[in-house]
Structure 1
Amino acid sequence: MAYSQEKLVEEKVFKDPVHRYVHVRDRVIWDLIGTKEFQRLRRIKQLGTTYLTFHGAEHSRFNHSLGVYEIIRRIIDDVFDGRPEWNSEQRLLSLCAALLHDLGHGPFSHSFEKVFDLDHEAFTQKIILGNTEVNRVLTKVSKDFPKMVAEVIAKTSPNKLVISLISSQIDADRMDYLQRDAYFTGVSYGHFDMERILRVMRPKEDQVVIKQSGMHAVEDYIMSRYQMYWQVYFHPVTRSAEVILTKILHRAKHLYQKGYQFKHEPIHFYSVFAENITLYDYLKLDEAVILYYFQMWEEEEDLILRDLCVRFMDRNLFKYVEFDPAKEYKKLSELSTLFAKAGLDPEYYLVVDSSSDLPYDFYRPGEEEERLPIQLLMKNGEVRELSRESQIVDAISGKRRTDHKLYFPADLLKDDSSKKNIKKQIRNLLDL
């Protein structure tokens, strides 16, 4: 029997709080889960610094990746199987791409990427195509199979249907993380009727479509996503932790480039600081490593690095006020001057952070980040874009919401004998 068709003697199951069970029968999937690159995802949190706001948010990219795989498995085996529009030969490709779609995430994911100008999707492709255990498993399917999986994740595959299963405005990735993140943060916003959505999904040549009868379940899904972004993902306390995290990494990189002698040398960071990180070095980085250095840097001579690390590790976060950069740029300039006079480097202690989300959009050719719309399959066989049928979705389509906050260490702005007048001016400007 070909490796691609090989089944386990007995089905393996993972107990899961969202899907109850994750079922694995394919030998290829079981072998991929056992690779060291996939096991590394146990040491990468799904929600980065959110655990400092919602204490239950300790779940990992490993949990989520298994969840996305399970949703795709159910769609293919329970809904698409036997339908003439679905090519069963694409089953293993879909399952592998679902399982491996987050393989390249680094520690604290998006914050880490922004500081060092990295791309987790590019690293996912490098892991799949490089000298890795994952690549060796995929190559046993066929010589070109790793490339096929990488192309699905990169959204360059000619198989648009498989891409839409994993990456679209209603995909397995989003359906898992909304429910999983809601469960572990303890909120109710992310819940929607996934069972109904799966039942009304249908394969078309270029993407998954939703039967007209499932429109209200999709409306609920979109509103759940909207609420999760503003109540959980963009929570201002989480953003405060992200601000401090990114400033620690910026400070450490700055000190390294200036030739600063660390008490505890950041050997795991050398290549990323030098902007020539290899795949081997990247895979050595996880959140346990990052937190180890933060703990060591609490004893550094550099006062800024030391203070920021203590704040992060002890959860003494920055406070915030509402801020409009377009209207209050003069205030920001004045505050920066006063912070410097007070002995607080505004580069690290006065930070504007902005969050922005577009809950749903229709296809706008040529625009950056083109979005494949959700299509409804009408009773007469016609396919229509969701916002044409749903008044709720039409009301939010194309409407981007942006929120700005100004973060600062309120505890360092209290009265003291040396900078009393300056700090009073700062507090007045911040309305403290």
Structure 2
Amino acid sequence: MQQTFCQETVYDPLYRHEIKALPHELELFQSKTLRRLKFLSHYGTASLYSPIMHSRLDHTIGVWSVIARFFPNDKELRLAALLHDIGHLPFSHAVEKTLGFNHHANTEKLIREGEAARILKKHGYDGEHIVALLNENTPLTSKTSLLGADHFDSFLRDAYLVGGIAKEPWELIQNIRFSGDFVETDIETGLHIMEAMVVDHNAFLSPLAIAIDGLLAKAVAAYAKHQEVKLSFIEPLTNYELIYHLQTCESPEVKELMNVVLWEPHRICIHETPAKERLQVEVKKVYDKEVLVGGRPISTLSEEAQEKLRKVKSLQKTYYVSYQ
């Protein structure tokens, strides 16, 4: 599945809607900063062993199209949606979480300086305003437990491609609106959206996905030590470039880790107890978001919604990884 560009319009097949892009948005679409996201997997290291291959650009365009659909005249919010993920590292959260990077800080840096900043300034936009929007509660995202456009797209896009939802995203989006900063809908649609959240989390936080995250991060750290470079070398890379660096490294440790990650994941063993030589990996964060129904969080109206939130929260675990 992919979005298609035709002159000044962008069609997203997930929602089956076509959005007219503004001139500065088209220029950003054509920039290297945005194009790089086409070569970052939205599904992280899970894309290495599953058929789920959509990119972070696919997700970005989806989020932007949702914002543009419901807030067509809010040009700065549309820009925030378009630029909200440009600071992601290769394989998205996988390496970032383990090695201590912060893609939010990297995103802000790229908005303030570099190619995106030049395009914003050329068209009369202040990058600081866009950064501020990314740090406030907006329909794009928030620090609350309520759902915004960013996670709405992530849940539906991932779950649809996994094959785990009863209604397709284009049907669900017909029944939502925004109440202030948050997605509001009816109980039936809300439960479908929250089921997508559960399906998504079960897939990208599966023990195997978390194990491969940890092994890939270990390979990156070993590479940086062997090559005597700072870990920050990975920040501008794509998935493919990072894999090339790691596969061509002469370090036996890096070679063995990459052999397991890329070619022999069946050798991976996942345990619930620590032991010598086992790599500890953790699920520290989940995205347990809920929609509004009649102005109230759906969990206050539905026991089924409460159970879906519990399922997602239960995935916060620690595993111990080895390979044979």
| Superposition TM-score, scaled by structure 1 size | 0.65
- Structure 1 match to 2:119: 137
- Structure 2 match to 1:122: 105
- Structure 1 match to 2:157: 180
1:152 aligns with 2:133: yes
Question: Per-residue deviation at 1:47?
Answer: 1.2
1:165 aligns with 2:140: yes
Structure 1: which 5+ residue stretches go unaligned?
A: 1-9, 78-87, 258-269, 337-345, 362-372, 378-382, 411-432
Task: Give the one of 387, 395, 408 matched to 2:322.
Answer: 408
- Structure 1 match to 2:301: 389
Counterparts of residues 14-413 of structure 1 (less than 5 Å): 14-55=10-51, 57-77=52-72, 88=73, 91-130=74-113, 132-142=114-124, 145-155=126-136, 160=137, 163-167=138-142, 169-185=146-162, 187-189=163-165, 195-197=171-173, 199-204=175-180, 207-208=181-182, 210=184, 214-230=186-202, 232-256=203-227, 270=229, 272-273=230-231, 282-283=235-236, 285-297=237-249, 300=250, 302-323=251-272, 328=273, 332=274, 335-336=275-276, 346=277, 350-355=278-283, 358=286, 360=288, 374-377=291-294, 383-395=295-307, 400-401=313-314, 402-410=316-324
The alpha-carbon distance between structure 1 residues 128 and 355, as it changes in their structure 2 partners (threshold 3 A), is same
The alpha-carbon distance between structure 1 residues 26 and 38, as it changes in their structure 2 partners (threshold 3 A), is same
- Give distance in 2, aligned partners of 1:113 and 1:295: 19
Question: Per-residue deviation at 1:209?
Answer: 5.5
CA contact (8 A) 2:190 2:291 kept: no
Q: Aligned to 1:164, what secondary structure does the other structure show?
A: coil
The alpha-carbon distance between structure 1 residues 227 and 183, as it changes in their structure 2 partners (threshold 3 A), is closer
Which AA in structure 1 matches 2:195? M
RMSD: 2.8
Q: CA offsets per residue over residues 51-102 of structure 1, 9 Å max, x none?
A: 22312x222111111111111111224xxxxxxxxxx4xx111211111111
Q: CA offsets per residue over residues 143-185 of structure 1, 9 Å max, x none?
A: 5x21111111123xxxx4xx23344632222222223223444
The alpha-carbon distance between structure 1 residues 387 and 192, as it changes in their structure 2 partners (threshold 3 A), is farther
CA contact (8 A) 2:33 2:86 kept: yes
Q: Matched residues, percent identical? A: 21
Question: Per-residue deviation at 1:104?
Answer: 0.7
CA contact (8 A) 1:322 1:405 kept: yes
CA contact (8 A) 1:318 1:407 kept: no
- Structure 2 match to 1:427: none
- Give distance in 1, aligned partners of 2:24 and 2:156: 27
CA contact (8 A) 2:140 2:149 kept: yes
The alpha-carbon distance between structure 1 residues 296 and 317, as it changes in their structure 2 partners (threshold 3 A), is farther
**Number of residue equivalences:** 315
Q: CA offsets per residue over residues 91-146 of structure 1, 9 Å max, x none?
A: 1112111111111111112222234422111111111111x221122123435x21
CA contact (8 A) 2:271 2:320 kept: yes
Q: Aligned to 1:165, what secondary structure does the other structure show?
A: coil
Which AA in structure 1 matches 2:151? R
Q: Aligned to 1:320, what secondary structure does the other structure show?
A: strand
| Structure with more relative contact order (C-alpha pairs < 8 Å, separation 6 or more) | 2
- Give distance in 1, aligned partners of 2:116 and 2:106: 13
CA contact (8 A) 1:192 1:217 kept: no
- Give distance in 2, aligned partners of 1:196 and 1:18: 10
- Give distance in 2, aligned partners of 1:238 and 1:17: 27
CA contact (8 A) 2:190 2:298 kept: no
CA contact (8 A) 1:22 1:66 kept: no
- Give distance in 1, aligned partners of 2:111 and 2:308: 37
- Give distance in 2, aligned partners of 1:200 and 1:409: 46
- Give distance in 2, aligned partners of 1:58 and 1:225: 18
- Give distance in 2, aligned partners of 1:316 and 1:360: 29
Q: CA offsets per residue over residues 197-216 of structure 1, 9 Å max, x none?
A: 55442443xx23525xx122
- Structure 1 match to 2:3: none
Q: CA offsets per residue over residues 284-323 of structure 1, 9 Å max, x none?
A: x2222211112212xx2x4322211222332345432441
CA contact (8 A) 1:352 1:407 kept: yes
Counterparts of residues 411-422 of structure 1 (less than 5 Å): none
Which AA in structure 2 matches 1:293? H
